[in-house]
C-alpha cells in the first residue's frame, strides 16, 4: 500500500497525524515515535526493510488493508539512523511532545530535527575529520560557496568565478558531504556532483531573514557572501530546529591567503590518503599527525589542504618549533597536558544544541582541569597567545555531575550528593524506603516461616511478594496477601502496607529523576555562557597541539628550518621525500633541487622505477610542509612562497567521466597553463605518453616552450622522450637532469641519484627483465631495439628543436641561404657590401617565416 492511495477520511487519528507530518517532509524518512519504538510506515517502511533488514509487518489504521510498518527501539535507534544517512537518506525524528501519562487522548507529535549527511551531530563521526555541509548560490556571473562543519562551529565563505569546472573542483577539494544549491544552478553540475561524487544535494532558494544569527555574517562587507551565509543558515535551522549559537562568524577564504591546489594534486601527492589503498597510513598527514587532540588533528589536516602564503605567520611557526626544540622539557609537559583534553569543539556543539549527556560534561570538566597547566607553560614559553583558566566552571562541574553518570538523562544518578538539598532530601526518602523494603522482606520471612519468600519489583505491578508454588499452601488469610499474578513456578502478592511504601518510593524516584534532569539542564545553560571563551581556548589548544606535533616529527626525523626568501631561487640540498624515507629507512638516497633565478624548468630523464616521480613529489611536499609552518626533510632549504601547485603524476583513465589517460593529461595541462603564474610550481610526469609517440613528443615540447616563454613558473618535467633534451640548447631557462642507473652483467641497478645532464640511454628492456618476463621475450626485444636504433641512425628525423616546421620546405630555404654564404669571401668585400649582404640574408630569413 502506498501513501498516495490512502483514503484519509477512513484512517485512524494517529495515522492521520503521521500523514500530515509526512506531507511536510515528502523526501525524508520519518522515525515516528510510538511508545518505546520509532516506527516507519508505507514507503518508508519498505525502505527500512530493504536497507536495514527490518522485519516488515502491518498496522491496522482504519483501512481494509494493513499499513506496511517496521520499527527500531528508541534507545538503540542511532546505529540504524547512521546506516540510512550514510546511504544518502534524510531522516526526520518525530517525537512525542507531551507525556502520555498526563495526556488525555492522542499525544501531540512533531519533527524535532532532520538528520542528513552534513547535519549529523552525533559522537560517531570521525573525530579527526570535518563533516562539511555546503551551499552554492548562483549569481549568474559568479558562485558563492559557503560551507560549515556544524559539529565544530566553523563557517567559511568564498567567491568563485562562474566556471562549472572550478566550482566542482572546489567542492570536491573541500570534501563537502552535503550541498544545497539555488534553483538557477546548472543541473549538469547537480547531476555530476550527485552521480560521480555521491554528494547529497537539495535544491532550495530560501534565505534566513531573522536577526538571531546576525553575528555570523555582520563582519562580511560583500552582500554576495552575506546571501550565501543566509542561504546555508536557512537550511541548517530548518533541519536542526535547535540552538546553533556555537556556530562562529564566517571566515572569508581568498586565493591570496593560501597555496592553491585541486583535488587531483592532493591525491597525486598523497597528502591525506594513499592512491593505492585510499588509506591515511603512509600519507603526509599520517607522518605529521602526532597530535594529542581531535581538534589539533583536524587543524593539521586543514593546514595540509590549505597551506599559507603569509611569510610572517610562517616564520612565527618556525620560531615556535625552534622554541619547543630548545625548551624540550616544557614541550613534553605541554604534550602530557594536551593528552587530557577532549574534543572541546564538538562538546560545545552538543552543549549548544542540547543533545549532550552527563559524560560529555565530565569530559569537559577533565579538559578544564588541565587549563591552568597549559596556561602556565605557554606563559613561561612566552607564546603569543594564551588560554583562559576557567576555575569557576570547573568547580561547578566538579561538585555537580556524577563521575559514573549514565548516558541517558532520564535514569537518575546524574547529580552528586550535596549539590542540591532538595534532591538530597528526596534521595534520603527513597533510601529509607528501600531500607524498609529490605527489612519488610526479612520480617515477612520470619513471620510466615517461608524462607524463600522475596520482595521484588517490576514496572507493571510495582512491588510484590513472591512465593514459590510449593509454599502456596502455607499462605494464610490473616496475612492479608492479595494475589496479583500467577506464574509457572510462583505466585505474586501485594499487601496494603507494601502498596503504601511503593507509592512513597516511586513518587520519590519520579521526583528525583525530574529534579535531576532540571538541575542538569540548568548546569548545561550555565556552561553555555562560556561557549565563546571555550571556543577561543579550543583554537589555541588546537594550534599548539599541531605545533608540538610538528616539533616532534622534526625532532624524530632531523628536519631543518626552511628559509623563506623573496627571491625566486630554489636551493634544497640533500632533500628527502618524508614518507618514502620513513618506509625504506636506511636505504633512502637524498637529492638536491637547485633552481636559481636563471632556471625555471628541470627536464628529468631516466629509467622507470629510478625515482623520477619521487623526486618531483619530494619538491612539492617540501614546499607544502614549509608553507604550513613545518620544518622540512633536507640539509638546507631556501625557497620562495608559491601561490599554486599543479601536478600530473601517474597514468589512469577516469572511468566515471569516461576520459582517457590522454584526455586527463591534456585537461590537467590546460588547467596549469591557464592558471599558473610566475610564482607557481608545476609537476608534469611523462606528459604526452597517452598518445602516439610523435604526437606526444610534439605536445610535450610545445607545452615546455609555452611554460618557458609565457609563464615562467618553476617546473619539473619528466619524460622518456630523450629527443626533448636538446631543448636545453634553445631554451635558456631549461636544464637537463637525470636519475642515474648503471648496468652490471646485463642487470640494471637504480642509484636514485639525480645528476646534471641528460640520460645517456634507455633502460626500458632492462626494467622489463626485472618483472621476470620470459628470457626469450627479452632477447627478442633487444634484437628489435637494435633494428630500430640502426634505422634511426640512417634516417634521422629529429634534426632541430622545433617539431612543428615543414622539414622539406625548411631544408630547401636553408640551402639557398647556405649557397649565398658559400659564395662570399669575407676578405674581398668592403664593410658597406657586408652590410648589404647581411640585409639580404635577413630579408630571406623573414621571407622564410
Tell me if 731 sits within 8 A of 705, measured CB to CB: yes
Mean pLDDT of all residues in 2-27: 89
**What is the grid cell recorded at 353?**
544544541
Please state, rounded to an integer, the average pLDDT across all residues of the chain. Answer: 88
Q: What percent of the chain has pLDDT over 70?
A: 88
Tell me if 252 sits within 8 A of 157, measured CB to CB: yes
The whole-angstrom separation of Cα 339 and Cα 370 is 10
* Predicted pLDDT of residue 689: 67
Q: Is 483 helix (H, G, I), strand (E, B) or coil?
A: strand
Residue 141 has pLDDT above 90, yes or no: yes
The phi and psi torsions of 710 (rounded to 5 degrees) equal -115, -25
* Predicted pLDDT of residue 830: 65
b/e burial code for range 56-69 (CB count within 10 A of at least 16 → b): eeebebbbeeebbb
Residue 803 has pLDDT above 80, yes or no: no
> What's the order of all strands across the beta sheet hosting 251-252?
200-203, 176-181, 132-138, 142-149, 154-161, 251-252
* Predicted pLDDT of residue 760: 61
* Predicted pLDDT of residue 81: 93
Of 4-8, 309-313, 395-399, 740-744, the least confident: 740-744
Mean pLDDT of all residues in 141-168: 95
**What is the grid cell recorded at 775?**
628470457
CB neighbours of residue 113 within 10 Å: 18
The whole-angstrom separation of Cα 719 and Cα 683 is 11
Q: How far apart are the first and last CA of the chain?
A: 79
CB neighbours of residue 23 within 10 Å: 9
Mean pLDDT of all residues in 757-784: 64
The whole-angstrom separation of Cα 666 and Cα 687 is 8
222-272 pLDDT, tens per residue?
999 999 999 999 999 999 988 899 999 999 999 899 999 998 899 999 999
Give the model's confidence band at 800: pLDDT under 50 very low, under 70 low, under 90 confident, else very high.
very low
Range 802-811 contact pairs with CB under 8 angstroms and sequence separation of 24 or more: 802/701, 803/694, 803/697, 803/698, 803/701, 803/702, 804/698, 804/702, 810/848
**Residue closest to 525 by CA, chosen among 648, 353, 313:** 353
Q: What HEC string does 120-152 produce?
A: CCCCCCCCCCCCEEEEEEECCCEEEEEEEECCC
CA torsion through residues 731, 719, 583, 307, sign: positive
Give the model's confidence band at 500: pLDDT under 50 very low, under 70 low, under 90 confident, else very high.
confident
To 10 degrees, what angle do helices 358-369 and 391-400 make?
140
Pick the residue with more confidence: 1 or 618? 618
Of 327-341, 614-628, 765-779, the least confident: 765-779
Tell me if 342 sits within 8 A of 363, measured CB to CB: yes
The whole-angstrom separation of Cα 375 and Cα 386 is 6
* Predicted pLDDT of residue 87: 92
Pick the residue with more confidence: 657 or 535? 535
Pair type for strands 132-138 and 142-149: antiparallel
The whole-angstrom separation of Cα 367 and Cα 348 is 12
CA distances to 602, 750, 752, 762 from 606, in Å: 13, 10, 10, 7
* Predicted pLDDT of residue 827: 59
Those residues whose C-beta lies under 8 Å from the C-beta of residue 217, and which sit 6 or more positions away, are 225, 226, 229, 230, 249, 250
The whole-angstrom separation of Cα 376 and Cα 363 is 21
**What is the grid cell recorded at 459?**
514496572
b/e burial code for range 595-620 (CB count within 10 A of at least 16 → b): beeebbbbbbbbbbbbbbbbbbbbbb
CB neighbours of residue 237 within 10 Å: 16
Mean pLDDT of all residues in 752-761: 81
Give the model's confidence band at 5: pLDDT under 50 very low, under 70 low, under 90 confident, else very high.
confident
Give the model's confidence band at 106: pLDDT under 50 very low, under 70 low, under 90 confident, else very high.
confident
Mean pLDDT of all residues in 26-33: 95
CB neighbours of residue 35 within 10 Å: 10
Residue 802 has pLDDT above 70, yes or no: no
CA distances to 3, 6, 61, 662, 717 from 9, in Å: 13, 9, 11, 64, 74
Range 8-15 contact pairs with CB under 8 angstroms and sequence separation of 24 or more: 10/62, 10/63, 11/61, 11/62, 11/63, 12/60, 12/61, 12/62, 13/106, 14/61, 14/106, 15/41, 15/59, 15/61, 15/62, 15/67
47-86 pLDDT, tens per residue?
999 999 999 999 988 888 899 999 999 888 989 999 999 9
The whole-angstrom separation of Cα 436 and Cα 429 is 10
**Residue closest to 90 by CA, chosen among 99, 101, 81:** 81
Residue 777 has pLDDT above 80, yes or no: no
Residue 769 has pLDDT above 70, yes or no: no
Residue 723 has pLDDT above 60, yes or no: yes
818-843 pLDDT, tens per residue?
777 777 766 566 666 666 677 777 77
Those residues whose C-beta lies under 8 Å from the C-beta of residue 771, and which sit 6 or more positions away, are none
Q: Using CB atoms within 10 A of its CB, is residue 211 exposed (0-12), middle (13-18) or buried (19+)? A: exposed
Residue 160 has pLDDT above 60, yes or no: yes
Tell me if 762 sits within 8 A of 607, measured CB to CB: yes
Residue 24 has pLDDT above 70, yes or no: yes
448-497 pLDDT, tens per residue?
999 999 999 887 788 999 999 999 999 998 888 999 899 999 999 999 88
Place of cell 582541569: 369
The radius of gyration of the chain's CA atoms, rounded to the nearest angstrom, is: 37
The whole-angstrom separation of Cα 468 and Cα 597 is 97
Which ranges in 563-716 belong to alpha helices (H)? 578-584, 612-627, 661-675, 693-706
> Of how many residues is the chain composed?
849
Residue 808 has pLDDT above 60, yes or no: no
CA distances to 291, 549, 824 from 545, in Å: 6, 6, 78
**What is the grid cell recorded at 114?**
532532520
* CA geometry: angle 162, 164, 168, nearest 5 deg: 120
Give the model's confidence band at 7: pLDDT under 50 very low, under 70 low, under 90 confident, else very high.
confident
The whole-angstrom separation of Cα 580 and Cα 589 is 10
183-195 pLDDT, tens per residue?
999 999 999 999 9
Give the model's confidence band at 665: pLDDT under 50 very low, under 70 low, under 90 confident, else very high.
confident
Amino acid at each position: 500500500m502506498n501513501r498516495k492511495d490512502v483514503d484519509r477520511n477512513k484512517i485512524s487519528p494517529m495515522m492521520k497525524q503521521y500523514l500530515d507530518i509526512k506531507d511536510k517532509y515528502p523526501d525524508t524518512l520519518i522515525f515516528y515515535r510510538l511508545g518505546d519504538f520509532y516506527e516507519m510506515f508505507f514507503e518508508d517502511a519498505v525502505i527500512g526493510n530493504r536497507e536495514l533488514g527490518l522485519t516488515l509487518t502491518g498496522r491496522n489504521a482504519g483501512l481494509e488493508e494493513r499499513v506496511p510498518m517496521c520499527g527500531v527501539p528508541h534507545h538503540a535507534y542511532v546505529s540504524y539512523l547512521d546506516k540510512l544517512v550514510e546511504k544518502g537518506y534524510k531522516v526526520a525524528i518525530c517525537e512525542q511532545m507531551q507525556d502520555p501519562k498526563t495526556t488525555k487522548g492522542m499525544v501531540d507529535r512533531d519533527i524535532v530535527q532532520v538528520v542528513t549527511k552534513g547535519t549529523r551531530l552525533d559522537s560517531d563521526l570521525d573525530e579527526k575529520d570535518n563533516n562539511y555541509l555546503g551551499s552554492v548560490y548562483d549569481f549568474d556571473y559568479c558562485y558563492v560557496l559557503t560551507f560549515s562543519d556544524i559539529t565544530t562551529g566553523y563557517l567559511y565563505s568564498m567567491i568563485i568565478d562562474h566556471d562549472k569546472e572550478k566550482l566542482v573542483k572546489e567542492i570536491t577539494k573541500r570534501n563537502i558531504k552535503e550541498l544545497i544549491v539555488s534553483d538557477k544552478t546548472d543541473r549538469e553540475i547537480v547531476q555530476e556532483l550527485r552521480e560521480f561524487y555521491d554528494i547529497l544535494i537539495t535544491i532550495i532558494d530560501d534565505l534566513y531573514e531573522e536577526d538571531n544569527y546576525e553575528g555570523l555574517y555582520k563582519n562580511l562587507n560583500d552582500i554576495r557572501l552575506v546571501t550565501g551565509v543566509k542561504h546555508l543558515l536557512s537550511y541548517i535551522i530548518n533541519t536542526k530546529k535547535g540552538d546553533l549559537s556555537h556556530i562562529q562568524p564566517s571566515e572569508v577564504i581568498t586565493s591570496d591567503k593560501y597555496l592553491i591546489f585541486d583535488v587531483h594534486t592532493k591525491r597525486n601527492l598523497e597528502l591525506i590518503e594513499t592512491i593505492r589503498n585510499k588509506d591515511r597510513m603512509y600519507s603526509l598527514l599520517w607522518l605529521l599527525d602526532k597530535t594529542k587532540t581531535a581538534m589539533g588533528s583536524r587543524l593539521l589536516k586543514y593546514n595540509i589542504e590549505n597551506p599559507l602564503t603569509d611569510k610572517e605567520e610562517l616564520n612565527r611557526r618556525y620560531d615556535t618549533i625552534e622554541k619547543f626544540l630548545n625548551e624540550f622539557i616544557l614541550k613534553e609537559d605541554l604534550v602530557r597536558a594536551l593528552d587530557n583534553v577532549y574534543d572541546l569543539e564538538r562538546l560545545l556543539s552538543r552543549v549548544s544544541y542540547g543533545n549532550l549527556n552527563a559524560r560529555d560534561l565530565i569530559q569537559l570538566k577533565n579538559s578544564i582541569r588541565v587549563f591552568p597547566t597549559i596556561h602556565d607553560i605557554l606563559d613561561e614559553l612566552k607564546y603569543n597567545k594564551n588560554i583562559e583558566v576557567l576555575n569557576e566552571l570547573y568547580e561547578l562541574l566538579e561538585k555537580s555531575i556524577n563521575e559514573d553518570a549514565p548516558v541517558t538523562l532520564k535514569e537518575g544518578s546524574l547529580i552528586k550528593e550535596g549539590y542540591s538539598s532538595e534532591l538530597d532530601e528526596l534521595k534520603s526518602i527513597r533510601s529509607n524506603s528501600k531500607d524498609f523494603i529490605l527489612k519488610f522482606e526479612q520480617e515477612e520471612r520470619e513471620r510466615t516461616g517461608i524462607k524463600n519468600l522475596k520482595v521484588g519489583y517490576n514496572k507493571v505491578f510495582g512491588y510484590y511478594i513472591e512465593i514459590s508454588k510449593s509454599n502456596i499452601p502455607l499462605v494464610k488469610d490473616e496475612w492479608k496477601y492479595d494475589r496479583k499474578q500467577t506464574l509457572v513456578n510462583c505466585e505474586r502478592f501485594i499487601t496494603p502496607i507494601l502498596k503504601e511504601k511503593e507509592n512513597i518510593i516511586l513518587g520519590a524516584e519520579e521526583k528525583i529523576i525530574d529534579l535531576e534532569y532540571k538541575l542538569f539542564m540548568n548546569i548545561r545553560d550555565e556552561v553555555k555562557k562560556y561557549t565563546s571563551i571555550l571556543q577561543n581556548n579550543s583554537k589555541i589548544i588546537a594550534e599548539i597541539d599541531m605545533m608540538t606535533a610538528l616539533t616532534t616529527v622534526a625532532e624524530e626525523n632531523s628536519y631543518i628550518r626552511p628559509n623563506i626568501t623573496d627571491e625566486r631561487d630554489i636551493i634544497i640540498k640533500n632533500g628527502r621525500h618524508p614518507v618514502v624515507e620513513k618506509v625504506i629507512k636506511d636505504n633512502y638516497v637524498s637529492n638536491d633541487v637547485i633552481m636559481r633565478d636563471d632556471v625555471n624548468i628541470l627536464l628529468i630523464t631516466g629509467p622507470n622505477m629510478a625515482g623520477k616521480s619521487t623526486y618531483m613529489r619530494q619538491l612539492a611536499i617540501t614546499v607544502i610542509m614549509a608553507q604550513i609552518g613545518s620544518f622540512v626533510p633536507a640539509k638546507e632549504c631556501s625557497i620562495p612562497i608559491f601561490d599554486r601547485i599543479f601536478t600530473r603524476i601517474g597514468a589512469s583513465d577516469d572511468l566515471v567521466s569516461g576520459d582517457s589517460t590522454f584526455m586527463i593529461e591534456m585537461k590537467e595541462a590546460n588547467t596549469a597553463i591557464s592558471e599558473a603564474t610566475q610564482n607557481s610550481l608545476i609537476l608534469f610526469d611523462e606528459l604526452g605518453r597517452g598518445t602516439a609517440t610523435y604526437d606526444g613528443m610534439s605536445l610535450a615540447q610545445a607545452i615546455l616552450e609555452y611554460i618557458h616563454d609565457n609563464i615562467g613558473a618553476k617546473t619539473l618535467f619528466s619524460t622518456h622522450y630523450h629527443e626533448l633534451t636538446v631543448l636545453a640548447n634553445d631554451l635558456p631557462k631549461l636544464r637537463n637532469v637525470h636519475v642515474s642507473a648503471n648496468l652490471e652483467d646485463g642487470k640494471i641497478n637504480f642509484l636514485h641519484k639525480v645528476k646534471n645532464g641528460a640520460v645517456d640511454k634507455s633502460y626500458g628492456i632492462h626494467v622489463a627483465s626485472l618483472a621476470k618476463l620470459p628470457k626469450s621475450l627479452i632477447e627478442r626485444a633487444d634484437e628489435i631495439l637494435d633494428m630500430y636504433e640502426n634505422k634511426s641512425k640512417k634516417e634521422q628525423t629529429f634534426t632541430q628543436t622545433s617539431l612543428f616546421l615543414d622539414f622539406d620546405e625548411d631544408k630547401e630555404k636553408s640551402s639557398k641561404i647556405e649557397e649565398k654564404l658559400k659564395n662570399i669571401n669575407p676578405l674581398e668585400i668592403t664593410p658597406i657590401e657586408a652590410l648589404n649582404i647581411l640585409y639580404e640574408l635577413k630579408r630571406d630569413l623573414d621571407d622564410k617565416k
